[in-house]
Structure 1
């Protein structure tokens, strides 16, 4: 009896091992049940284009851009065919519930046809809309037979669902061509020799089935640019602190005269433009933002405005900036500039660049009207024009926060000049450009109402003009958005703003603020703080920030025109610091408001706050820009930077609140500092025996001297610049579709090659290896 039981147990263990071996493919040990529904596409309806349980999503989701359908193969198995007719990010997806902190293997067979650009055809986890995570398998390009592809990933500690994607393209890496997918499966994986993407720390990674490398070394390498960003920020911060301590804090420093101020201003503006152009060459742009702007502009030119928001394309911007995107795209087509090229990216950065220059010019003229002096006016213009954060965001990133800041400043200036109707129209345009303009809405409303109360005998006229200002703002919103309405309901724009505001349900989205200080960057806004959800706490803090700033404006409004600039800058900074749903750039308009407040008050503490916020925002923007495409950099280093940056932002926000109370409510400002007179030098005991002659510092060039100098410069320039560099570039290209391919270059006759150049066009951290028949590498 015992022997029979032992044999039965052994037989059961054998059967169990056989079933386990069946799941162990390529050294993988899989466990559990199949987690995908209808992974073999056997369940489908004749009337549906895709099998049951699967749906199509795409960046440009219309029939002229993408299509997907179920196909029957020769062996009667079925595949999904996905085709991008234009550069696109298309994916056929299914949402699956999983266990947190668990390794899974996503498998499929993929066949490609004329796939090019971006990340090509991949398997992907597309959780970006859910929790900000995503990753890709190895990238397939060109035309190839069926290939087995696997993606290994580990879920985060709180991750309980993922979106499995059969993908052609990626975020900011659009692709074109056709990809087919079959035999898709998803299992929990107990063990594997392949590299595993950790979604908690390696978001955005491309897995290539290579054996895992030393994680610590990889994280260290990925974090190097973050350390460089910290070093650059510290260097610039120390430089500003030194200049502030030795020059800017002294009011007399701004009062000195400058020769040829107009020429100096032109040099400042030209230098700022060149700096942003250089940054545009160094940085293509934020992969998501700049790609969205280009795609929206191209779509507007090709298809018009009426179906823009109903074509199934991701569009989270209101219609205002779409006019600019469309105009730039039309210009690119007219000039023959290729879509997605560096030249096109440069043009899309021009609106924010010109907005920065226009704002610097505005600061110069306002400073002159405040009798700040030519030097003071030039310094304020230069400080803003060369603020590193603004240069990077406009020239490197490609965002339009500078456009919003300029429009808000114009709104306040027009209100102060008693041009309420035009101020309302400009504010309406600001709302139509970026929804973040609504952050200024409450404090501007308070300013309009108090202006009516202060009008006394003219209160009726001001009430009428304020009503007309509101009507002007609504008219701008209605008229400019009307071409985009199409078949949507009358309230479509209201829903658009509401959907945009709630599209990122997180405590913080890369922002250095109070939420990130708590370690809740990219964490759901439902997390509890003091027993209440953070989104409720954040809304309460937003209301308190507006009320606090409004009360301060009430007390300080009659003493200076700078009151509204200071109150609005404080309100936006407090909302950014203690509110929810905040992105890293939402506080940038506050920089301009604080600098304008300094222009009117001359309180050196405001200039110190401006310098501090410039440093924290620069570090915030550069780190956020980097980690979006280098998710392996997330970890201890990034968390430490986020903590320190968030702490600095909170301290600066509280300090600005303190300074604002003293200026607006208590009318207390420190006395202007005067630079100490330089020490008198001891008089020399030497007595000159030569007669004193009148001299000056002019060169006294004659016409002959001027012509001689110009001639020398011209001859030297021609000699020096002749044959300097080359303007030619390769025009014939060869692309490799797989590893191990080679190419041969043949000449019609025997030629002596003195030198050759290889343009590797390496991306995605690839490697180009050149070898000779002799074995040299």
Structure 2
């Protein structure tokens, strides 16, 4: 036993050291490369000035693009809508199509994803189906060491990969523009012609990033600074899931849960490679779901409100709060939730509202929700299967428009989620209800982007922790595969200048798999809720003492 503990400790230390050395090596190379490129640019400009006779151009003049790059504009004014701080036009808002970099690592990323899912399949059969985990005796000290190792290695690898792969250049350029604008004049961020379509919450984060990124020593790392909040959110979500797994499952399974989320390719590609903020949004959603499951209604309402003010997709999860209030049937709880939610929204919105119309936030949401009037926006879902990617959702399909079909499916999904929630009548079905909502809306609603299924990965893990049904593990793996494939495929195509995914084999297979996963999920949740309902009836009939 002592020898095994010694091996575990040595292995853990070596893994952390190797990750740290890799991270430091990448950081050092990036700094050296940045300095070399700056020197080359300065020399080239000097040679050009010598040839043109303009050798006395002052530093920081109009031609000094090096000084201008990555800097916060000194005047603090916003750029015209559709332009970057440099004055050059942008091709897209975050989530829109544009150019990106990092395609040189495509083979490695796909190979890693395949290896991860094969390892996950092996772990499922060894530790879960055969229940080998119960036979393994992991001391509390070794468990803590393994958890520290997982989080340290996962964090350091994210920093290294985040620097190596620039990500989606268009999205990151927009985030950089917003960060610098917020850092210059925070309260006026939404004034004038600023092109931001994000609600206020994440602007607070970008304000901090903009301030830190303006420091000369950290300026070359602006890209990874933009990814840093999502990287921290990955770690936060993994920590929350692992703690819940230890509480409701076992210490051994909590390690597997942490490893599954930290090293999940679907999580990696979204935050660390692409540079998107869905991880930050997911952490807020998961926190709200957990608080609601743990019967902390007031605190959960704060996070649900924050989720809506982070991304409009937060509206998808609001029905869960409504279901809980209907279940409680108390006027006091309803008033309390409304007051807390209104106070949270006011605190987040007010700092931006000094020079704006009182309804500016409503107009922002209306504008954002109407930005992409298409049946599918590269989302591999039901409408993609119909060949309606980037088809106007006002177009007719079976006598009515795609938009109306999408609305009908949203209503049906909400009713199905409510049925499972009401039938389950317990905290165990709160995550499952959220999973039904996000997956159902993504797969059967219009105007969905490739990344919008992302929260389903964490929610499926959370549903398994509470319901303890092995079939939900398969759902988590399935949604991880489809989320990764959809996100990476679109990013890979964008690298090649293709902004619209054509109907082809891989997208069709992933779309069909998403539909199959949703059907399988409904079947599983129906059976679990039926079992819960039957158990409750038996308790009422025979008494809890006989069943215990």
For structure 1, the 5+ residue unaligned runs are 1-59, 69-83, 92-125, 134-170, 174-203, 205-221, 454-458, 670-777
For 1:642, the equivalent position in structure 2 comes to 507
Q: Is the 8 A contact 1:627 1:633 kept in 2?
A: yes
Determine the C-alpha separation between the residues in 1 that align with 2:467 and 2:512.
Answer: 27
Pair 1:577–1:425, CA change in 2 (3 A): same
Determine the C-alpha separation between the residues in 2 that align with 1:635 and 1:423.
Answer: 38
Q: Is the 8 A contact 1:247 1:253 kept in 2?
A: yes
TM-superposed CA distance for 1:364, in Å, is: 2.1
Q: Is the 8 A contact 1:597 1:606 kept in 2?
A: yes
TM-superposed CA distance for 1:415, in Å, is: 2.6
Superimposed CA distance per residue, residues 640-675 of structure 1 (whole angstroms, 9 cap, x where no aligned partner): 221111111111111111111111234499xxxxxx
For 1:595, the equivalent position in structure 2 comes to 461
For 1:735, the equivalent position in structure 2 comes to none
Question: What SS does the aligned partner of 1:248 have?
Answer: helix
TM-superposed CA distance for 1:502, in Å, is: 1.0
Determine the C-alpha separation between the residues in 2 that align with 1:266 and 1:662.
Answer: 38
Q: Is the 8 A contact 2:493 2:501 kept in 1?
A: no
Structure exhibiting the larger radius of gyration computed from Cα positions: 1
For 1:414, the equivalent position in structure 2 comes to 291
Residue in structure 2 matching 1:495, options 363, 366, 377: 363
For 2:262, the equivalent position in structure 1 comes to 385
Deviates more, 1:498-507 or 1:227-236: 227-236
Question: What SS does the aligned partner of 2:309 have?
Answer: helix
For 1:88, the equivalent position in structure 2 comes to 87
The answer as to 2:183 corresponding to 1:317 is no
Q: Aligned runs of 1:63-102 on 2, under 5 Å?
A: 64=77, 86-90=85-89
Determine the C-alpha separation between the residues in 2 that align with 1:614 and 1:464.
Answer: 40
Determine the C-alpha separation between the residues in 2 that align with 1:526 and 1:367.
Answer: 45
Superimposed CA distance per residue, residues 584-622 of structure 1 (whole angstroms, 9 cap, x where no aligned partner): 111111221111111122211100111111111111111
For 2:13, the equivalent position in structure 1 comes to none
Pair 1:302–1:429, CA change in 2 (3 A): same
For 2:523, the equivalent position in structure 1 comes to 658
Q: Aligned runs of 1:216-365 on 2, under 5 Å?
A: 233-253=113-133, 256-259=136-139, 260-306=142-188, 308-334=189-215, 336-338=217-219, 341=220, 343-365=221-243
Superimposed CA distance per residue, residues 539-577 of structure 1 (whole angstroms, 9 cap, x where no aligned partner): 11011101111111100123xx32010111111101100
Q: Aligned runs of 1:688-727 on 2, under 5 Å?
A: none
TM-superposed CA distance for 1:254, in Å, is: 5.3
**TM-score, with normalisation over the residues of structure 1?**
0.55
Determine the C-alpha separation between the residues in 1 that align with 2:448 and 2:287.
Answer: 24
TM-superposed CA distance for 1:416, in Å, is: 3.5
For 1:533, the equivalent position in structure 2 comes to 401
Q: Is the 8 A contact 1:420 1:466 kept in 2?
A: no
Superimposed CA distance per residue, residues 683-723 of structure 1 (whole angstroms, 9 cap, x where no aligned partner): xxxxxxxxxxxxxxxxxxxxxxxxxxxxxxxxxxxxxxxxx
Pair 1:532–1:612, CA change in 2 (3 A): same
Determine the C-alpha separation between the residues in 1 that align with 2:303 and 2:207.
Answer: 21
TM-superposed CA distance for 1:247, in Å, is: 3.1
Q: Is the 8 A contact 2:379 2:486 kept in 1?
A: yes
Determine the C-alpha separation between the residues in 2 that align with 1:575 and 1:85.
Answer: 33
Superimposed CA distance per residue, residues 408-450 of structure 1 (whole angstroms, 9 cap, x where no aligned partner): 2222222344432222122212221121111101122112321
Pair 1:469–1:294, CA change in 2 (3 A): same
Determine the C-alpha separation between the residues in 2 that align with 1:381 and 1:229.
Answer: 20
Pair 1:364–1:633, CA change in 2 (3 A): closer
For structure 2, the 5+ residue unaligned runs are 1-72, 535-548
More strand by share: 1
Q: Is the 8 A contact 1:443 1:546 kept in 2?
A: no
For 2:20, the equivalent position in structure 1 comes to none
For 1:708, the equivalent position in structure 2 comes to none
Residue in structure 1 matching 2:493, options 620, 627, 651: 627
Q: Is the 8 A contact 1:279 1:392 kept in 2?
A: no
Question: What SS does the aligned partner of 2:383 have?
Answer: helix
For 2:383, the equivalent position in structure 1 comes to 515
Q: Aligned runs of 1:369-384 on 2, under 5 Å?
A: 369-370=247-248, 372-384=249-261
TM-superposed CA distance for 1:494, in Å, is: 1.4
TM-superposed CA distance for 1:380, in Å, is: 1.2
Question: What SS does the aligned partner of 1:285 have?
Answer: coil
Determine the C-alpha separation between the residues in 2 that align with 1:314 and 1:493.
Answer: 14
For 1:480, the equivalent position in structure 2 comes to 348
Question: What SS does the aligned partner of 1:305 have?
Answer: helix
Determine the C-alpha separation between the residues in 2 that align with 1:399 and 1:67.
Answer: 23
Pair 1:579–1:262, CA change in 2 (3 A): same
Pair 1:88–1:257, CA change in 2 (3 A): farther
Q: Is the 8 A contact 1:64 1:85 kept in 2?
A: no
More helix by share: 2
Determine the C-alpha separation between the residues in 1 that align with 2:110 and 2:334.
Answer: 47
For 2:471, the equivalent position in structure 1 comes to 605
Question: What SS does the aligned partner of 2:86 have?
Answer: strand
Pair 1:400–1:65, CA change in 2 (3 A): closer
Q: Is the 8 A contact 1:410 1:423 kept in 2?
A: yes
Pair 1:621–1:313, CA change in 2 (3 A): same
Q: Is the 8 A contact 1:352 1:402 kept in 2?
A: yes
What is the aligned residue count?
456
**TM-score, with normalisation over the residues of structure 2?**
0.77
Superimposed CA distance per residue, residues 151-177 of structure 1 (whole angstroms, 9 cap, x where no aligned partner): xxxxxxxxxxxxxxxxxxxx579xxxx
Pair 1:361–1:292, CA change in 2 (3 A): same
Question: What SS does the aligned partner of 1:537 have?
Answer: helix
Question: What SS does the aligned partner of 1:433 have?
Answer: coil
- Cα RMSD of the aligned pairs, angstroms, is 3.0
Q: Is the 8 A contact 2:406 2:446 kept in 1?
A: yes
Determine the C-alpha separation between the residues in 1 that align with 2:80 and 2:274.
Answer: 32
